[in-house]
Amino acid sequence: MLKKLAYFSLFLFLSMGCAQAEEYKEGVEYFRVADQATESADKIEVLEFFWYGCPHCYKFDPILEKWLETKPANVEFVRVPAVFRPEWKVHARAYYALQAMGLDEKYHAVIFDAMHKDKADLYSESAMVDFLVSKGVNEADFKAAYSSFSIDGLLRKAIKKVKGYAIKGVPAMVVNGKYLVSGTSAGSYENMLRIVDHLIKKEAAAKK
């Protein structure tokens, strides 16, 4: 009797797992995009497209940060600042400049809080420079990085990714250069990450 109950419990557990996996359907909760080359050949690449001025990205960021604490070891996570309008380049350049200085993680949430909690107007280069300097960033180093040739290249690459993956809004995530997940398709920020986890497992199985 106990053995039968154990088999039944295992069957129920497996059935629930399959049902959960089947909840996420291509073309509904996530979409297949034109395959793009990833920069993480030995890992599954997960991209997050964001914009500092986006209130949805601001709400998503702390949820994403919790996910990053326990993300699978086979995942390479990369933030990509989206550029839909010329004025968004200020934020993209600021992110990449801080990244070049090794300060992106330290100031990522700081910029978000300033814009959405404190309503800071950080839409120009001068405003962004003044703000970051007030927070302890070296002015000369930041300005040099901000206007550098390497940041020009990263900016062009980010714009190319937005177009290549047909990103229409942010926040959005792309798994392994193949699958696009957005807040709209997922229904909630938490579900975005559940779907991303599902797609990571899908890609991991495909690699095997």
| Per-residue pLDDT at 18 | 42
Predicted local confidence at residue 191, as pLDDT: 96
Distance between CA atoms of residues 82 and 197, nearest Å: 22
Name beta bridge partners: 80: 49
Residues in the chain, total:
208
- The full DSSP string for 79-131 is EEE--SSGGGHHHHHHHHHHHHTT-HHHHHHHHHHHHHTS-----SHHHHHHH
CA nearest to 58, candidates 174, 206, 171: 171
pLDDT at position 38? 87
What is the mean pLDDT of the segment spanning 188-208?
92
The domains of the chain, with CATH numbers, are 30-207 (3.40.30.10)
Q: Is the pTM of this model over 0.85?
A: yes
pLDDT at 17 over 50: no
Measured CA to CA, the distance from residue 57 to residue 53 in angstroms comes to 8
pLDDT tens for each residue of 46-70: 999 999 999 999 999 999 999 999 9
Of 189, 171, 178, 208, nearest to 79 by C-alpha is 171
What's the whole-number mean pLDDT along residues 76-84? 97
